[in-house]
Every structure is written in structure tokens, then in C-alpha cells.
Amino acid sequence: MCDTAEGLVGGLMPSLRAALCLALTLAPSLAQAETIRVSPSDDFTAIERAQPGDEVVIAPGTYRFRLFLSQTGTADAPIVIRAEDPSDPPVWDLSGMRAEDAPGSSTRGDRGRGCWQITGAHYQISGVVIRGCATRSGNAAGIRTIDTQSVVVRDVVFDGNEVGFSGTGEDTLVEHCEFTDNGVRSSPPQHSTYIYGGTITFRHNYIHDSAGGQNLHIRARRSVIEYNWIARASNYEADMMTGPDTDQEMIFRGNVLLTNASPENGSHVFVLFNDSGASDVRMTVRLLWNTIIVQGGGDPALVSVRNDTLAAATVELSNNVVVGTDQLLRLRDEGTSNWTVTGGNNHLPSGADEAGLTGNVLGDDPGFADASAMDFRPAPGSALIGLADASVSGAPDREYAEDEAITRRFRFRLAAGDVGAFESGAPGDAFGPYDEATPPTPGEDAGPADRDAGPRADASIPSPDASASPDAGPGAEPDGGCGCRVGATRPGAAWPLISLLLAALVITRRR
């Protein structure tokens, strides 16, 4: 384009000429980002063809086909796939068929491993329900990522799949989602979530009642599990196992964790295990400011470490409240020197083995506001208030909101002086997946605002446009279908920049 415009730009100073060339080069790509409207009468091609900067808007209804998302968006031009109306979400329901037999573009041998499979980059997915994903091998996921980059999954309900969410990728974010009845009681079991590697954050999710396996089965190099409500796994709640990288770290922060009263495996709650036998595997887990309620008795180990399989194991337990078990740590081989336990300032049951931790308070009544109603906030006068060690790195700035009736939201936390997942005092406003959120200053109420709420914050996927006309764009059907591109959503996005540069051109010419 710059070559054809040589007569226009040739007389400019080099820097201005380069800027104008760049603007002219970018103009077509910026101008072509479009909205693609999809209805149940469309097939997979309408969604799969979305390009960087495009927005796919999916109408309510039931969809019975697979998706294979392989395009490469960018940080500035992600590929957005969202519900037209999140209050009436589109439902991917492959119940009664195997995923590999459902309509879809992929012919890969592993096409049955997920109803939605992603190999691309910078996808942002929100507002859908995915249920009934199954395959001959018994491990089909609702969403499966394959070596992806920067995928965001928000406000998605995973219901009754062999695996809820699985895969490997870098900078994956799963937030404001619900996982229910996922997993399979098999050998080996399938899980509600199964992460094979990479880096991932789970936050503000309601992960509960797996049909088999664990709620969290993590093989990632680095994982952050924060501000979730995690409850009643079929087997035990969570583990770290060997992945592609031999140095693995998990931060488990600000979560509410309620165990199953009668799990398949009631000997532990959380496990570190090198199940592959790889050499020089090192695992670190930091449990910070969690509220952990062990139900059903049995005195399971809160953290079970198979240090006989590891080169090094590091466990930190800081500022947690633990109810229902006296056994914080179980080591397979206490006689070795390959393990470290640090932390303290936890509230633990009377008689608990403190495992070398310091500054703990022991007692059978933590002082919850109303545990029978699942209100685990510290009541006035609770021993949890002010117990936390403020010097611990990685303090929470949010908390889950708020229980199993009001789910998948968060509140800002003004201070981290109280132990457990909640701070004392009157709770502030709760924010959902489409709310813009700004942390309040101390002494102010938390309320909606327009500031970014952290990395890839909750406002990064646009809110649904309730006023969008279903027949917008040429050729659209009355029900908003046809899977067609509807008008350029940003047809003039590049022209302000070009206009400025052309103005500069005129000024330069006049000189």
C-alpha cells in the first residue's frame, strides 16, 4: 500500500512517512472487524470463521455440533464469542451422542475429546452452557484447550460432561463459571477440571459436586486458584500431579472449600504426587487465607505429600481457617530432607497437629456468622479477626460472593487482617461477570465504577447489547440467524489516525 502511495508520502520526513504507511497498512484490518450473528439454524462454520477483532453473538436456543476454534486473535483484536442474552444462554447439548459423531469441521483423531476445542489464541468466550459431552474413550470435555495462548472463559456453565474444562495453554483465565456434575467414576477417574500444563487462573467460580474424580486436577506449571467456592468432589477435592514442566507452583488463595461428607477417597483433601515417575520434579503449593470445612469426620490429611516421588516439596499454610480435621500434613517419607513446611497464623481445631507452623490459634469454634447457613464471615468478636500475619506475600484483595445460592460473583476485600476467605464487617457490593468494578478506598462502600479490576478484568468481554436489532445487516433472517457478518462494527476505526496524519501532510506540504 505504501508503494502505491509513494507520490503521496514521498515528500514527507521519514518518521511521518513511516507513520502514514503504518496507518494505511492497518486500516483494512481494523476496518474489517465484524459482528457475526448465529442462531440454532446455523452450523459450526459461522462461529469457526471468526477472525481477529470479530465478535460472534449467539442467540438463545440449543446447539448440537462441535466447534474447533483455530484462529489467532491478538491482545488488541481478540476473537469474542458471547451470548446474545446471558440471562437466556445458548446451550450446547450433545447428550445422547458421542462428541466425535456430532457435526463438526475437525476430522482429527482426538475430535471427540471436547465439544469446544481451541487451538488458537486470544479467544474470549462468555455466556454459554455446555452439557452432555461424552466420547468413546470416556474423557470428553466441555471446553478443551490445546497449546493455546490467552484464552478467557467467563460465565460458562459446565454441566454433566465427562470433563468440565481441560487442556493446556499459556495465560488461560477461567472465571465466573459453574462446574456441576462433571467427571466420571472410572479407572483412572475423570475430573471436573483437568489441566495438563501451561499457566492458568481459576477465579470467582462455583466448582461443585463432581460426578467423579476431583474438582481440581492440576498439572500446570503455574496455577492460581483464587476466590472460588469449591465443594463436594466425588473423590477428594484437589491435587497437583506431574505435567510437562518439572517445576510446578500453585497459589490457592481466598477459596471456600467444603469437602464431601462421604467421598470415594476420604484419606486426604489435597494431594501432591509425581505420578509419572519423572525425575527432578519439584512442587510448591501455597494455601493462603482459605476457609476449609472438612465434613463427615474421618480426620483426613489436609495436604498429603508423596515426597517419596519428588525431588522437593514445599507447602505453605498461612492465614487459613480449618474446621473438621486435626491432621494438616501427611508425608509419605518423613525421614528425608526433601520437604519444607512453612506458614502460620491459622485457626485450627483443638488438638490439631500444627506441623511446625507458628502463631496459630486452636479452638473448635472459629466464630462464623452462621455456619449452618453457609455464612462463613467472621462474626463480631470472632477469633478470626485480626489473626492474619500481614507480612505474608500474596494477600487477597477480593473474596467470593457469596454462598451456594448467590454464586459466581466477587467482592473487593479492603484488608487482609482477618484469616480465612472473608473479612469481617458489612460486605460491600458484589460484582458479576459483566460488571465494571473498581476497588473502594477504605471507609467507602464498594460500588460499580469503570476502572479496570485487575489483569484481564471482568469488563474485558463486552456486555451484551440488549438493543441490538436481530435483523441488523443485509440478508439477516428475522430470528437473527444466517450466521452472516453483520455490518462492520468498527468501519472507521483507523480513520481518525489517518486523518491526523493527512492533516500533518497538508501542513508539511504548505511549508
CA atoms within 13 A on the CB side of 241: 12
The verdict on 248 and 395 lying in the same domain is yes
* Cis check: omega of the bond before 188, within 30 degrees of 0: yes
End residue of a domain, out of 383, 404, 433: 433
Residue length, the chain?
A: 511
| Co-location of 384 and 502 in the same domain | no
Q: What are the tens digits of pLDDT across the range 3-36?
A: 444 444 454 445 445 544 544 444 444 457 899 9
What pLDDT sits at residue 355? 85
Is the per-residue pLDDT at 453 higher than 60? no
Q: What is the pLDDT of residue 495?
A: 42
> What CA–CA distances, in Å, run from 223 to 32, 182, 220, 472?
36, 21, 6, 42
Q: Is residue 388 located within the same domain as residue 503?
A: no
Asked whether residue 490 is assigned to any structural domain, the reply reads: no
In-domain check, residue 95: no
Same domain, 333 and 236: yes
Residues 243 and 391 in one domain: yes
Query: Are 398 and 277 found together in one domain?
Result: yes
In a domain, 217, yes or no: no
Distance (Å, whole) CA 213 – CA 485: 42
Cβ contacts of residue 188 below 8 Å, gap of 6+? none
More confident residue, 334 or 200: 200
Grid cell in block for residue 154: 467467563
Closest to 170 measured CA to CA, from 100, 242, 119: 119
In sequence order, the 6+-apart residues with CB closer than 8 A to the CB of 430 are 401, 402, 406, 409, 410, 411
For all residues of the chain together, what is the average pLDDT? Answer: 86
Reported as a single tens digit per residue, the pLDDT across 395-429 is 999 999 999 999 999 999 999 999 999 999 988 99
Q: Is residue 58 part of a domain?
A: no
Higher pLDDT, residue 390 or 367 = 367
pTM equals: 0.84
* Selected residue with higher pLDDT from 483 and 37: 37
Decide if 99 is inside a domain.
no
Asked whether residue 191 is assigned to any structural domain, the reply reads no
Partners of residue 231 on adjacent β-strands: 208, 258
**What is the span of the domain harbouring residue 27?**
1-32+495-511
Q: Are 239 and 215 in contact (CB under 8 A)?
A: no
CA 221 and chain centroid, separation: 16
Q: How confident is the model at residue 449 (pLDDT cuts 50, 70, 90)?
A: very low
Grouping H, G, I as helix, E, B as strand and the rest as coil, residue 481 is: coil
Residue after which a domain boundary falls, among 391, 415, 433? 433
Separation CA 273–CA 230 (nearest Å): 21
Distance from C-alpha of 237 to C-alpha of 215, rounded to nearest angstrom: 5
Contact status, residue 83 vs residue 128, Cβ threshold 8 Å: yes
- Counting the structural domains of the chain, the total is 2
**Cβ proximity of 261 and 427 under 8 Å:** no
- Does a structural domain hold residue 327? yes
Q: Per the domain annotation, does 405 fall within a domain? A: yes
What is the rounded distance in angstroms from the CA atom of residue 124 to the CA atom of residue 73? 10
Whether residue 507 sits in one domain with residue 420: no
User: Distance (Å, rounded) from C-alpha 126 to C-alpha 163?
Assistant: 18
Task: Say what percent of the chain tops pLDDT 70.
Answer: 80
Q: Which of 166-180, 253-267, 432-446, 484-498 has the lowest mean pLDDT?
A: 484-498
Domain boundary among 433, 468, 503: 433
CA distance 142 to 211: 14
